Amino acid sequence: MKKVLLTGSAGFIGFHLVKKLLDLGFAVIGVDSLNDYYDTSLKLDRLDELNTFIKNRNVEYQFLKVDISDEKEVTALFEKYNFDIVINLAAQAGVRYSLENPQSYALSNMVGFTNIIESSSKANLEHFIFASSSSVYGMNIKQPFTVSDNTDFPVSLYAASKKANELIAHSYSHLYQMPCTGLRFFTVYGPFGRPDMAYYSFTKAIDQGIPINVFNNGEMLRDFTYIDDIVDGISKIVQKKPKLIKNNISNANAPFRVFNIGNNNPVTLKRFIEAIETALSKGAIKNMLPMQKGDVPTTYADIDDLTVEYGFSPTTTIEEGIAKFVNWYRSYHK
């Protein structure tokens, strides 16, 4: 039974991924700092849900409260456990929040990431997998975004920190020949999602008859990707590490890959809101506004590489995914 360290395991994607990995027969050590970027009760409820999920199942799972920005805590974690695979999802999330609290991004996304990958480099891992973001593409004009596109022009500190993670991971992969895979996530949504995300806050506001702010007059395009499609893709990647990649630009060869992981089917913010209205059987009160600083008009993932390499093929439409989220929302909030 291979042992996986999953950081950010009480987060949205991490919570769902734990269940998937356990179903596949992996032993999972989940860690999370349980910070208060959003209501910690949701994180604790995810952990309770996981405990219910593993009850009466023959699985190996343990949760530990660990702050990855604390070097001593991370070192002690790796000294206690022999991990085969590390999946680093822990990070300070949110584009707009990075304008208000930049220090938290430097601490979690830079210092924390370095602590994890440094300990991983000494652990003889089979595979190091980490979360990047579609935000690294900034305001690139060319669509859809491909992994070979230039990502030197981030428009938020969050995006810059994720680009830095990719560069750090490549250097470690080259230096220690450690197989590394980075995943550029495209607007993930679904049950138990983050309350600061638009689909969650819109659902709450529409349900309560509160006006919603619709930026860029609803013309923004997003490659909304349902959580089940995301964890299915990650579970495939976990089971196949990248090979040594040689290129024509540099001799810094490494077993390193970066992939887009999205729906490959962007929809307008207008259609997204209409899906919520349909699922709730209630219309939204809309406050139409221009674009916000740090936002980008379009995210659109070219996932051909991931499809060819791992057979990744998302299947959930925005209407299907939003309906599932709204059903969960009504049940959770009673």
CA 116 to each of CA 4, 102, 179, 185: distance values in angstroms, whole numbers, following the listed order: 13, 20, 14, 20
Could you tell me where the DSSP H helices lie in 24-101? 40-54, 71-80, 97-100
CA 250 to each of CA 174, 180, 246, 255: distance values in angstroms, whole numbers, following the listed order: 11, 18, 8, 14
CA 212 to each of CA 94, 95, 100, 119, 126: distance values in angstroms, whole numbers, following the listed order: 19, 19, 21, 44, 46
CA 106 to each of CA 53, 109, 127, 162, 188: distance values in angstroms, whole numbers, following the listed order: 34, 6, 25, 11, 23
Amino acid identity of residue 99, one-letter, is: L
Amino acid identity of residue 104, one-letter, is: S
Specify whether 158 is catalytic. Answer: yes
Is residue 181 within 8 Å of 242, Cβ to Cβ?
Answer: yes
Q: 311, 222, 215: which is closest to 275 by C-alpha?
A: 222
Catalytic residue among 38, 97, 158, 310: 158
Helix (DSSP H) and strand (DSSP E) numbers for the chain: 12, 13
Residue 8, C-beta contacts closer than 8 angstroms, at least 6 positions apart: 14, 31, 32, 88, 89, 90, 91, 131
Q: Which residue has 């913010």 as its token pair?
A: 269
Q: 216, 215, 193, 317: which is closest to 267 by C-alpha?
A: 317
Cis peptide before 191 (omega within 30 of 0): no
Radius of gyration of the chain (CA): 19
Catalytic residues: 158
